[in-house]
């Protein structure tokens, strides 16, 4: 029981950290990424809380074959001269999942920039593994298609 309580507290602290980082940045794109991560941590805390209280007992246990080890990936936002390092990282099952997550983050960043009336196509996401090696790069301009008239 203590482990599960610690898990809930851990995710809540990570959510708070992300919200503080969002408040400290002047870049709307970076702010939105931090807020997105904070929302994910909030969801994880809620799931851990359900698990702790036994409210997820209606769910069938996961199939052992479907459970795979998770790898920590970091999603650094770069614009050519500056780099916002992802110090938290995201645990994902494999590189393909990391690429999909990078695409989601890129599109989320672009959508927020469009709402602000600015589209910075110099940005890119560098996906790094736990050792710090960049294993994938996604220029934001490759995260969408333009349909012309």
Task: Indicate the pTM of the whole model.
Answer: 0.57
Answer yes or no: are the C-beta atoms of 101 and 128 closer than 8 Å.
Answer: no
**How many angstroms separate the CA atoms of 45 and 47, rounded?**
5
- Rounded mean pLDDT of 137-144? 95
For residue 77, which of 131, 21, 139, 135 has the smallest C-alpha distance?
139
pLDDT tens per residue across span 55-76: 655 555 555 445 557 899 999 9
Answer yes or no: are the C-beta atoms of 134 and 51 closer than 8 Å.
Answer: no
One domain, residues 85 and 12: no
Structural domain range at position 85: 68-149
One domain, residues 56 and 74: no
One domain, residues 58 and 118: no
Answer yes or no: are the C-beta atoms of 123 and 107 closer than 8 Å.
Answer: no
One domain, residues 96 and 127: yes
């Amino acid at each position: 029981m203590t482990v599960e309580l610690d898990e809930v507290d851990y995710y809540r602290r990570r959510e708070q950290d992300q919200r503080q980082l969002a408040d400290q940045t002047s870049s709307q794109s970076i702010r939105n990424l931090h807020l997105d991560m904070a929302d994910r941590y909030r969801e994880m805390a809620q799931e851990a809380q359900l698990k702790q209280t036994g409210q997820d007992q209606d769910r069938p246990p996961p199939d052992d074959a479907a459970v795979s080890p998770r790898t920590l990936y970091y999603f650094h936002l770069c614009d050519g001269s500056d780099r916002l390092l992802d110090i938290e990282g995201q645990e994902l099952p494999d590189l393909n999942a990391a690429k999909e997550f990078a695409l989601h983050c890129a599109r989320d960043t672009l959508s927020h920039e469009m709402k602000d009336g600015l589209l910075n196509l110099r940005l890119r996401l560098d996906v790094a593994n736990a050792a710090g090696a960049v294993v994938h790069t996604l220029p934001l301009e490759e995260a969408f298609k333009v349909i012309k008239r």
